[in-house]
C-alpha cells in the first residue's frame, strides 16, 4: 500500500520523518515532507502507521 503526502496540507514540522525516516524524506524544493520513492507501508508496519496517525494536519493518506 502506497503512502501519499498531500503537500497542500503538509506544514512541514517533520513528525513523520522523525517517526519513520526510511518511509518519508524531505523535499528541499517544496520545503515539505514526501514519501520516499517506492516506499510501501507493508515494509514499515506499525512504525509507518504511527507516522500516518501522528500527522496533526491529516496530510498523509494511503492508496
Write down the least CB distance from residue 45 to ligand SF4, Å.
18
Write down the least CB distance from residue 39 to ligand SF4, Å.
13
By rule CB under 6 A, what count of residues binds ligand SF4?
Answer: 13
Alpha carbon distance 39, 29 (integer Å): 20
Write down the least CB distance from residue 10 to ligand SF4, Å.
3
Alpha carbon distance 4, 35 (integer Å): 6
60 forms part of the interface with ligand SF4 (CB under 6 A): yes
At 11, list the grid cell: 506544514
Quickly list H helices, the chain.
Answer: 15-19, 45-53
Selected binder of ligand SF4 within 2, 4, 11, 61 (CB under 6 A): 11
Amino acid at each position: 500500500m502506497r503512502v501519499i503526502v498531500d503537500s497542500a496540507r503538509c506544514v512541514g514540522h517533520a513528525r513523520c520523518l522523525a517517526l519513520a525516516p526510511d518511509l518519508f524524506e524531505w523535499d528541499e524544493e517544496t520545503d515539505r515532507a514526501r514519501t520516499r520513492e517506492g516506499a510501501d507501508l507493508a515494509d514499515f508496519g506499525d512504525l509507518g502507521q504511527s507516522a500516518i496517525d501522528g500527522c496533526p494536519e491529516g496530510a498523509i493518506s494511503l492508496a
